[in-house]
Chain A
Amino acid sequence: MSGRAFGTQTPAAPPREKEHVLPTEAPITPSPFAEKVRGPVGRSCDKIDGVERVTGTKLYGADLIAREADLHAKVVRSEHAHAEVVSIDTKEALRVDGVLAVLTAEDVKGTNRHGLIRRDHPVLAKDRVRYRGDAVAIVVAKTEQAAAAGRDAVKVEYRVLPTVESIEQAMAPGAPHLQPGGNVMGGRRIRKGDADSALADSHVVVSETFRTQTVDHAFLDVEAGVARWDGELLTIRVSGQWVHEEARLVALALGLPVERVRIIQPAAGGAFGGREDISIQIYVGLAALRFAGKTVALRYDRAESMRARHKRHPMRIEYAMGADREGRLTAAKVAIYSDEGAYASTGIAVCRKMSSHATGPYRVPHVRVDVFGVHTNNNPTGAMRGFGATQIAIAYEGMMDRLAAKLGVDRVEFRRANLIRPGDAVTTGQVVPSPTAVECLEAVLRQYGSKSMPSEPLPTHLRRGWGVSVICFGMGYGDGFPDASRARVRIGADGCVEVYSGIVDVGQGAENVIAQVAAEEMGVGLEHTRVITADTHMTPESGSCSATRSTFFAGNAVRLAAGELKEKLLDAAGELLCVHPNELEFRGEEIRGRFDEGLCCSLGELVAAARKRGYELEAEALFKPRTICEDFETGQSPRAFITYMFGAHVSQVLVDVETGEVRVERHVACHDVGRAINPEAVRGQITGGVVQGIGMALMEEVVYRGGRILNPGFTDYILPTVRDVPPVECVVLESNDPLGPYGAKGVGEPPLIGAVPAVLSAIYDATGKAPATLPCNPERVWGMLTGS
C-alpha cells in the first residue's frame, strides 16, 4: 500500500485488492433446503421484467409523461421555513402564456390533509407554512415550461415567523409551537426492571451521546407521473409503496369516495421508504380534477425532490450501558431525541421501532428507554430503510465496542457472551422464535478470517482496522397494528397461472418472489406464471412494500391462495373426468390420474370446462398473523413482531489519520433471511444495503441552515460511487422460519442497519477513537482524531 491511498484514486491504479473480489456464487450456509429444491423457489432467476427495464420499454412515471401528457403541473413551494401565509396573488401567473389555472387551498374539496399516521400535513398550505418544501399552490399549464414560468410568477405574501432549526431549539422554553400540541409530538418508552439501580451496581458503565444525520433516500427515479379524471374515476399513475393507502389518502384529501380513485403503479426506480409518504399523487390528482378528460403530468427535478420529500430522522441518542465483572450486560438507559421535522409522517412508528430495538440482539435485564419525537422547521422525517432500527443500532453497537474496551475484553467475545440465544428475550420482553445472531456472527467471522487482515507495513499516516456489528430487526409492522396481505390466484384462459397482489415492486424484485412462490405451489414453470401487481382496481390489498414484509406477507398470501386454488382445480378435474379428486394429482401443467394414466386434462381444458359451467377457477386468500401491542407504560409485549431477522457484518477500513479520509477495503455481511427464494436477488439486496450503509457511515448528509437545504443535489449530497465500495462479500444464512413462505423471512432493511456500525467499529479499531457523530467524513474524523 503506497501513501497515496486516497484522493488520487485513478483508473490507472485501481485501489482495490483483487484477491478480495467476491466469488459471484457466495456461500449459502447452512441450507436445510439443499436436497429439496425442485421448483423455482430457491433458484436465482432473472428479474421478470429485467429485459424491459434495461432496454427502456418498461414505463416509469417520466415515460408516461413523455407519451401521454396533455397538461403539466408545477408546485409553488414556501420560500420560508416558518411563516404565515398572508395572501396569494395569482393574477400575474394567470397572465403567463399557456397557464390555465392556479389552484390553492380554496380549490381542494376534501380535508386538504394527508399523513400516514396523523393527517397533519396540508396538501396546499392555507394560512401557515412549516418548512421550505411546503406546497402553497399548483399551477397547471399547456407546457412544462409555461407551468414553471407560472409557478415563478405566483406572488405569495408571507409574514415570517422564527425558525426552529434543531431539536435543542424546539425543546427550549419559549420556542414557537409548530403543531397545536407543542413541539414534542410524542414518543415511546421501555420500563423493564430497574435500570438506574442496576447501572449504579454495575462493575463498569459507559455513556455516550450519538448524533446521526439527516439522510435522503436518493432513489434514481425522481417523483413523476400522470393523472386523468374522466368524470367518474380519477386514475393516478405515480410510483408509491402502498397503492391502496395512497387511494385512501387521495380520496380523503380531495373529497372523493375512495372507489373513485384508482392508483396504478408504474415501474419504480427505487424507494427505500421515500415513496411511503404521499408525494405528487394528490397534487397531480387535484390538477386532473380541474381538467376532465385531460392527462395531467407532474414531475420534480432532483432539487425539488430533495426539498419536498421527507428524510431519515436525525437523532440525538444518549446511551448509558453497564456490565458486571464477568462481562455480562446489566442495564441500559437510553434517551432518544428525534427530529421529526414539520409534520408527523411515520415518526411515531419510528420512535416505537427505536424503543423496541433499543438493546438490539443482546440480553439486557434492566432497560429504561425514552424516545421523544420533536417537531422542527426542517423537512418532515419518516420512513427510510431501517426505520429507526438503523440509528439505534449505531448506538447499541457503539456501546458494545466501548464497554468491551473499558472491560479490557475482546469485542467479539463480549458480543458472543451477551447475544440472545434460544429462550432469551429482546428489549420488549418477546422471546425470539429462532435467534440466529450467534450463527450470523460466526459465519461472518469465518468469511472474513479466511483472508486475514493484510500485515504489510503502512506509511505512518495510515491506519488499518476492522470492525464488527450484530443486529436484529423485527419484521412487519408489529405492535398490534393490522398487518395483512391478500392475494388472488387464478388460471387464465391460456392456462397460465395469474397472480394478483396489491404489493408494489419498487425495483427490488417483489414480483419475482411472488411469481416464484405461485409457480412452486402450483407446480408449474415460472414461464407459465403471470404477475399483476399494485393496481387498486385490479389487485387485492396487500399492504405496503415496507417493513421488510413483502416476501413474508405477500408471499404467504400468494402461497395460501395457490393452495386453495389447487384444491379447487382437483375438484373441478374430478368432476370433469368423473373420478374422485383424491385419485388425481398435478403433473406439471396437467392433472392426471394417480392410478390411471389415461385420465388427463390440461389446466387450459379445465378452465374452459369450468367456465362453461359458470364458474371461474380462482382463489383468494388472506394472510394476517397477529401481533400484540407493546404496553404503553413498559413497552413490553410477548409478540411485538411476527419474527426477527439477524445479521452480522465485518468491515475493514483504512484511515488517513492526518486528513481524516476513510476507505472501506473489505465488507462482509451475513444475514439470516429464513430462506432465499431468489438467492441472486437476496445478494443484490445485501449489497445495496451495504452501499447505502457505507454512504450513511462516511458521507451522506443533508445540510440545513435556517431550514434551507444547502445541498439539494448530487453535486454536494455525496453518495458513494463504485470506487468507495469494495465488492461486498455476502453470506446468506437460511434458518427456515416456521411461518414464512417456504421458510423465508425477508431481507430488505437489515443489510443497511448492519453496515453502518461495522464501519464505525472499524474506524475505532484503526484509530483508537470511537466515532459518535455521523457521517464520518474527512473533516469530522480529523476533528475526532485531533480534538479540533
Chain B
Amino acid sequence: MFYQPTDMAEALRLRAELGPEVVTVCGGTDVVVAMNHGVARPEAFLDLSRVAGRDSVERVNGIYLLGGGVTFAQMAKLPVRALAEAARSVGGPQIRNVGTIAGNLGTASPAGDGSVALLALDAEVELSHVERGSRWVRLEEFFLDYKRTALQPDELITRVRFPSDFESVWYKIGKRGAVNISIVCCAIGRSPAGAYRIALGSVGPVPMRAMEAEAVLNGDSTDAAHRAVAYLADEVIERAAEAAELEAAPIDDQRSSARYREAMCRVLVRRLLRELRDG
C-alpha cells in the first residue's frame, strides 16, 4: 500500500490514522537499502515526496527554516559551510538528489553527516501532529539512543530551523573520496557571540556534542562579552581537543577501532578550531 498525500495537512492526518507498521518515506535512501538487505519488509508506506512545500528553504529574521523534504543536493548549495560540506559528502549524486534532511534525522544514525552538522549549528526539529500541533525539539533532546528519537509514531518531522549567522566548519574521515561512510566526523559552529558548539559523529550511539570540549572554550557563560573577542590560543585548542578525545565514546566495529576514533576526535577538533580561528 502506498499513501501519497499532496499536502501536509493530509499527510499529518494519515500519519495519525495509520499504524506504526506504515513506514514514512520520502527519498527512500535508508528504507530501500534496508528492504534490499532483507532487514525490513514494510507492508505499506506513507510517501511524502509529493507533499507541496516539503522542500522549501526560507531565511527569516536570522533563522533558516528548511522543510523536512529538503534534499542533500539542496543543502549542498546553502551558504552554511558545515551543512553544505556535510551534504556534499553524502552518497553519490543520485542519493543526494532524493535523500532528505528529515530522513537523515529520523534514521538517527550516529554516522548521519547532516545530523552532525545541524547539531553544531544549534538546530531544532519540528515534530507535528494533526491534532496536538507542532513542537520544536532541540537536536540534543531529539536523539535519544542508537537509532531512537523523540519522534512519536503519529508525528512527522516537518521542518528544521537553525540560526543563519553561525560560522561553521566540518570534516569527515572515511575510507575513500566519495560515497563514503564516516569513521569519524566533526562539525564545529561558532555563534556571533563567540560560543562554540562541537558535534561528533560515529563516536557514540547518537550524534553527540562534545560538552567538555565546549566548556574549555566557552568557559563561564557570564563571560560572553569577553569570549567573543578572545583569541583561541594553541594551548586552549589543545585542551579542548583533548577533552573531546576523552568524552567520545566510540566502539570497535568493522569500520574502525575505538582507539582510532578517539584519537581522531582530538585531531579533528584541533584542526577545525584552528581553521575557524585562522579563517
A residues with CB within 8 A of B: 3-4, 6-12, 15, 301, 303, 461, 658-659, 661, 663, 698-699, 703, 710-711, 713, 715-716, 718-724, 777-779, 782-783, 786, 788
Does A723 contact B178, Cβ atoms closer than 8 Å? yes
B9 at the interface (CB under 8 A from A): no
Tally inter-chain residue pairs, CB-CB below 8 A.
Answer: 88
Q: Are A8 and B171 in contact (CB under 8 A)?
A: yes
**Given A713-B37, A782-B260, A782-B263, is A777 in contact with B171 using a C-beta cutoff of 8 Å?**
no
Q: A461-B271, A779-B260 are in contact. Are A8 and B176 (CB under 8 A)?
A: no
Given A4-B171, A8-B85, A658-B271, A710–B254 Cβ distance below 8 Å? yes
* List of 4 A-B pairs having minimum Cβ-Cβ separation, nearest first: A723-B177, A10-B88, A723-B178, A710-B254
Partner of B89, one of A7, A777, A778: A7
Is A718 in contact with B176, judged by CB distance below 8 angstroms? yes
B177 touches A716 (CB 8 A): no
A-B residue pairs in contact (CB < 8 Å), sample of 26 = A3-B275, A4-B171, A6-B173, A7-B171, A7-B172, A8-B88, A8-B171, A9-B89, A10-B85, A11-B88, A303-B37, A658-B271, A659-B173, A659-B264, A659-B267, A715-B33, A716-B255, A718-B175, A719-B176, A723-B176, A724-B178, A777-B175, A779-B256, A782-B263, A782-B264, A788-B260
Indicate whether A778 sits within 8 Å of B173 (C-beta atoms), given known contacts A7-B89, A303-B37.
yes
Contact A779 B183, beta carbon cutoff 8 Å: yes
Q: Determine the distance from Cα of A301 to Cα of B89 in the docked complex, in whole angstroms.
A: 27
Question: What is the chain B residue whose CB lies nearest that of A779?
Answer: B260
* Separation of A388 and B215 alpha carbons in the complex (Å): 55
Cβ-defined contact, B171 with A12, below 8 A:
no
Residue of B nearest to A700 (CB): B175
B246 smallest CB distance to A (angstroms): 17
Contact across chains for B181 and A663 when beta carbons are under 8 A apart: no
| Interface presence of B56 (CB below 8 A) | no
| Complex contacts, A720 vs chain B, CB 8 Å | 176
Interface residues of B in 223-279 (CB under 8 A from A): 254-257, 259-260, 263-264, 267-268, 271, 275
Shortest Cβ distance from B74 into chain A, in angstroms?
14
Among residues of B, the one whose C-beta sits closest to the C-beta of A13 is B88
B residues with a Cβ closer than 8 A to A are 33, 36-37, 76, 85, 88-89, 92-93, 170-179, 181, 183, 185, 254-257, 259-260, 263-264, 267-268, 271, 275
Set of chain A residues within 8 Å of B174, measured between Cβ atoms: 7, 778
Nearest-neighbor residue (CB-CB) of B261 within chain A: A779
**Supplied contacts A8-B172, A715-B33, A788-B260, 20 more A-B pairs, CB within 8 Å:** A3-B275, A7-B173, A8-B88, A9-B177, A9-B178, A10-B88, A10-B89, A11-B88, A659-B173, A659-B264, A659-B268, A710-B254, A711-B254, A718-B176, A719-B176, A722-B178, A723-B177, A724-B176, A778-B183, A783-B260
Q: Interface on chain B toward A: helix, strand, loop, or mixed SS?
A: mixed
Please give the distance in Å from B264's CB to the nearest CB on chain A: 6
| Contact status B89-A8, CB under 8 Å | yes
In the complex, the answer to whether B172 meets A716 with C-beta atoms within 8 Å is no
Q: How many whole Å from B174's CB to the nearest CB in chain A?
A: 7
B176 touches A699 (CB 8 A): yes
CB-based nearest A residue for B254: A710
Max count, chain A CB within 10 A of own CB: residue among B172, B179, B181: B179
Q: Which residues of B contact A11 (CB under 8 A)?
A: 76, 88, 93
Most A Cβ at <10 Å: residue of B33, B255, B256, B259: B255
Contact across chains for A658 and B178 when beta carbons are under 8 A apart: no
Q: How far is the CA of A703 from the CA of B175 in the complex (A)?
A: 14
* Best-surrounded residue of B37, B174, B176, B178 (most CB of chain A within 10 A): B176
Q: How far is the CA of A779 from the CA of B259 in the complex (A)?
A: 9
Min CB distance B247 to A, Å, is 20
Set B85, B177, B254, B255: member contacting A15, Cβ < 8 A: B177
Contact yes or no, A721 B88, CB < 8 A:
no
**Bound Cα distance A443, B173 (Å):** 36
B272 to chain A, nearest CB (A): 10
Verify B179–A661 contact, CB threshold 8 A: no
B269 to chain A minimum Cβ distance, whole angstroms, is 12
| B173, B177, B181, B268, most chain A CB atoms within 10 A | B177
- The one of B170, B179, B264 that contacts A8, using a Cβ cutoff of 8 Å: B170
Tell me the complex Cα distance, A204–B71, Å: 61
CB distance from B58 to the nearest CB of A (A): 23
Q: Which residues of B sit under 8 angstroms from A718, Cβ to Cβ?
A: 175-176
Query: A3-B275, A703-B254 given as contacts; is B176 within 8 A of A788 (CB)?
Result: no
